[in-house]
Amino acid sequence: MKDVARRAGVSESAVSFALNGRPGVSEVTRDRVRRVAEQLGWRPSTAARALSGEGAATVGFVLARPADTLGVDSFFLQLVSGIQEVLAERHLGLLFQIAQDIADECAVYRRWWAEHRVDGVLVVDPRTDDPRPDLLDELGLPGVVIGGAPDARHPGLTTVWADDAGAMAAVVDELYALGHRRIVHIAGLAGLAHTERRIRTLRAEADRRGLTEVRSVTTDYSDAEGAAVTRRVLSGPTPPTALVYDNDVMAVAGVAAAAGLGFSVPADVSVVAWEDSALCRMVKPWLSALSRDTVEFGRTAARELTALLDGGPARAVQVPVPRLIERDSTGAARGG
Amino acid sequence: MKDVARRAGVSESAVSFALNGRPGVSEVTRDRVRRVAEQLGWRPSTAARALSGEGAATVGFVLARPADTLGVDSFFLQLVSGIQEVLAERHLGLLFQIAQDIADECAVYRRWWAEHRVDGVLVVDPRTDDPRPDLLDELGLPGVVIGGAPDARHPGLTTVWADDAGAMAAVVDELYALGHRRIVHIAGLAGLAHTERRIRTLRAEADRRGLTEVRSVTTDYSDAEGAAVTRRVLSGPTPPTALVYDNDVMAVAGVAAAAGLGFSVPADVSVVAWEDSALCRMVKPWLSALSRDTVEFGRTAARELTALLDGGPARAVQVPVPRLIERDSTGAARGG
């Protein structure tokens, strides 16, 4: 900084004002200082900025899922890609950690905040009974919750979410129109806010139409449980004519499991996958799926967090409703 | 720190010695100070540690691949899971960034190191012509290269690698024993060290056996290119009887593409996937694949980096050779 001041012919404090974007120096001086600083390869030390209260220039992201369920999960890599795009433009780092469970995740937030490691966090997998919003409030740690519906009890948190309820209603509409009356929803993790939202919507849509053979079964999102539940429900006395899976991996495993029992898709059973991906077009038949732009979802969340860090207000931002793309795995119900 | 010193009845410098694991205090004092510090919820500030030269307590990881090729890539999530397991034990953070290209990746390293953001980096996707080892040498930035063969020109870098050449030789052995003489290797990105190693080995093994219809075609690792190249090579006048894919995604897409042209697997063409995953058991027929423990690969790399940061020597560590698991996609060559 001394070198920059000498070369630019200004005081050290003028250099500090200029490089930190603060008032107190003219635009001409600011430009000169920046040019000289660039020539000298000077960059502000994150550590120095953190101690002077200017932030860690880093955003935290914790994923509390067992490593092995991440096997073929494209959702998080796509989400992180979108997040990273926005953070990179702002020269913000992404501090990433895989936690054992939600308690471990809370401990990570406490530690990061106490150690000035992050300026804010992106919170994923919101739950119906979730200790994290209270914790962020208590710590004063800025946060954006990805995937949860807005919660009036936490006005300081931004929420970026999709209308899972609307998407599930559209799926039921379409399956009903195709004559399906027995539908099983092979859901994700119980307790996750979006899992419960989908389950509630399915129940409400079934009740509205007087359908009694419609239900949800929760799983751990793995291909193994997707296949096991598929085999179980198809082996019953009155098997469902349509299956809705909460992710692509379970749907693909489910189609294979159905084939193993002699069920043809879609002649005997229709299949819808919640999360569209390349995977849905890699199997025969190509899977009908709910599609959304996950990379853009990540970008939106990161933009909201940087806005929050810049002093903007917390907001509830809704991304477009996932759209049902009909491919070859859905058809008229047998005898429907 | 003042509070800890007062409660423990020692000087502030004794607290500093005790908590930073330095000599100068007795074991009894060290234990007392640690207990008091824990009771008070005291934690060292990363920023303060960084400025005092004690490190950022953070490891960097840059991935220079386009976001969309990460679609269904389970390799990196599994690798990061293993890395994270080891780092979490040591209370080290993982700073993650997706870069546009290798030049951008180099710029990220320069910035992170200049800003004291990381203590060391994990380098992936080593290339045959790679500017990164020179850069790490120049900066003095500790690094572990994942996947590259040891390079005597960079004695300061640790290398954690697998013997791709040995695995490819085993695949050729097996296919040759099944009567295959026309083999196409649908490879990953040109210029990556392990891609080139596999291509060279395939060539050498073919030459050794006098096989003239064996070749490699490079791709971008995507399912789209995997399918396109499959269609192209199977449409020729003398199509190959065996296909070896550099990842699971391309193999699955390739089987579907082959079926589209009327080729049955393995009756008309045998298929081997390089990277085993749940995906290989989600399609019919189940794919024969090269299997390795990617989570353990990540753990090994992280352990080597922490050893380097603790002042240990750079090493070349070889992980077990990927093992060919024969499932239903490989069989005797037609007419072989």
Q: pLDDT for B284-303, tens place per residue? A: 899 999 999 988 999 999 99
- Nearest chain A residue to B57, by CA: A117
Q: Measured between CA atoms, how close is B258 to chain A, in angstroms?
A: 12
- Out of B43, B84, B222, whose CB is closest to A111? B43
Q: pLDDT tier at A264 (50, 70, 90 boundaries)?
A: very high
Q: Residue A176: which of A4, A63, A336 has the closest Cα?
A: A336
pLDDT of residue A50: 47
**CA-wise closest residue to A272 among A294, A255, A296:** A255
For the segment A260-272, the average pLDDT, to the nearest whole number, is 97
Smallest Cβ distance to A96: which of B51, B96, B259? B96
Shortest Cα distance, chain A CAs vs residue B276, angstroms: 11
Interface contact flag, B278 A72, Cβ < 8 Å: yes
Strand-pair partners of B186: B217, B245
* Residue-level pLDDT at A282: 79
User: Cβ–Cβ contacts within 10 Å for residue A96, how many?
Assistant: 22
User: Given this model, what pLDDT does residue B90 score?
Assistant: 84
Among A71, A121, A93, A306, residue whose Cα is nearest residue B98: A93
Chain B closest CA to A87's CA: distance in Å? 9
Q: Which residues of B touch A46 (CB under 8 A)?
A: 47, 50, 115-117
| Domains in chain A with CATH codes | 2-43 (1.10.260.40), 58-162+294-321 (3.40.50.2300), 164-291 (3.40.50.2300)
Q: Which of A81, A117, A279 sits opposite B72 (nearest CB)?
A: A279
Nearest to A115 among B45, B74, B80 (CB): B45
Q: Which of A77, A284, A297 to mutate to test the interface with B (most CBs of B within 10 A)?
A: A77
Residue A330 has pLDDT above 50, yes or no: yes
d(CA A201, CA A169): 7
Q: Which residues of A touch B95 (CB under 8 A)?
A: 58, 93-96
The DSSP call for residue B282 is T
Mean pLDDT on B143-148: 94
Res. A5 pLDDT band, cuts 50 70 90:
confident
For A225, phi then psi, to 5°, come to: -70, -35
Phi, psi of B273 (to 5 degrees): -100, 140
Asked if A115 and B72 come within 8 Å (Cβ–Cβ), the reply is no
User: Which of B84, B112, B114 is nearest residue A97 as measured by Cβ atoms?
Assistant: B84
Residue B54 clears pLDDT 70, i.e. is over it = no
Which residues in chain A touch residue B68, judged by CB atoms under 8 angstroms apart?
81, 295
**A47 has a pLDDT exceeding 60:** no
Cα separations in angstroms, A20 against A2, A15, A17, A24, A287: 15, 8, 5, 11, 52
- Mean pLDDT of the region B143-155: 92
From residue A239, give the alpha-carbon distance in Å to each of A203, A223, A233.
Answer: 18, 20, 6
Residues 6+ apart with CB under 8 A from A78: A294, A295, A298, B67, B70, B71
Q: Mind telling me how many Å the CA of A115 is from chain B's nearest CA?
A: 4
CB contact at 8 A, B321 and B162? yes
**Chain B positions in Cβ-Cβ contact with residue A278 (cut-off 8 Å):** 71-72, 222-224, 249, 253
- Average pLDDT rounded to a whole number, residues A133-143: 95
d(CA A125, CA A69): 14
Q: How far apart are CA B20 and CA B53, in angstroms?
A: 12
Mean pLDDT of A309-313: 91
Could you read off the pLDDT of A55-74 as tens digits, one per residue?
788 999 998 876 656 555 66
Q: Residue A44: list chain B partners with CB under 8 A.
A: 115
Instruction: Looking at the complex, report in whole angstroms how far the Cα of residue B223 sits from the nearest Cα belonging to chain A.
Output: 7
Say what angle helices B74-89 and B294-309 make with each other, to 10 degrees: 40
A54 vs B271: which has the higher pLDDT:
B271
Q: Which of A58-72, A296-310, B76-90 has the highest mean pLDDT?
A: A296-310
The C-alpha atoms of residue A83 and residue A85 are separated, in whole angstroms, by 6
Q: Going along B139-287, which residue ranges are E strands? A: 143-146, 158-162, 183-187, 214-218, 242-245, 270-273
Rounded Cα distance between B241 and B276, Å, is 21
Tokens coding B335:
């007419």
**pLDDT tens-digit map of B180-222:** 999 999 999 999 999 999 999 999 999 999 999 999 999 988 8
Burial of A140 (0-12, 13-18, 19+ CB in 10 A): exposed
Angstroms from A261 CA to nearest CA on chain B: 14
Comparison of pLDDT for A222 and A179, the residue scoring more? A179
Average pLDDT of B159-172? 95
pLDDT for B47 beyond 50:
no
- Give tens-digit pLDDT for B233-280: 999 999 999 999 999 889 999 998 999 999 999 999 999 999 888 788
* Whether the predicted pLDDT of B50 surpasses 80: no
Q: Is B235 exposed, middle or buried (0-12, 13-18, 19+ CB in 10 A)?
A: exposed
Nearest residue, CB atoms, A47 vs list B51, B73, B222: B51
Mean local confidence (pLDDT), A34-48: 65
Is the pLDDT at B51 greater than 50, yes or no?
Answer: no
For A205-262, how does the pLDDT look when each residue is reduced to its tens digit (9 = 90+)?
999 999 999 999 999 888 889 999 999 999 999 999 999 999 988 999 999 899 999 9
Confidence of residue B70 (pLDDT cuts 50, 70, 90): low
CA B252 to chain A, closest CA, distance in angstroms equals 6
- Indicate whether B131 pLDDT > 90: yes
* Contacts with A282 from chain B: Cβ below 8 Å: 223, 249, 252-253, 256, 283
Judged against a pLDDT cut of 80, whether residue B39 lies above it is answered with: no
Look at B283 and A283 and tell me if their CB atoms are within 8 Å: yes
* pLDDT for the residue B121: 98
Beta bridge partners of A319: A162
Residue A173 above 70 pLDDT? yes
Q: Would you call B74 and A78 a contact, using CB atoms and an 8 Å cutoff?
A: no
Residues ≥6 apart with Cβ < 8 Å to A313: none
Mean pLDDT for A266-291 is 91
Residue of chain A minimizing CA distance to B295: A67
- Eight-state DSSP code of residue B280: G
- Whether residue A71 and residue B277 make contact (CB cut-off 8 A), yes or no, is yes
Q: What is the mean pLDDT of chain B?
A: 89
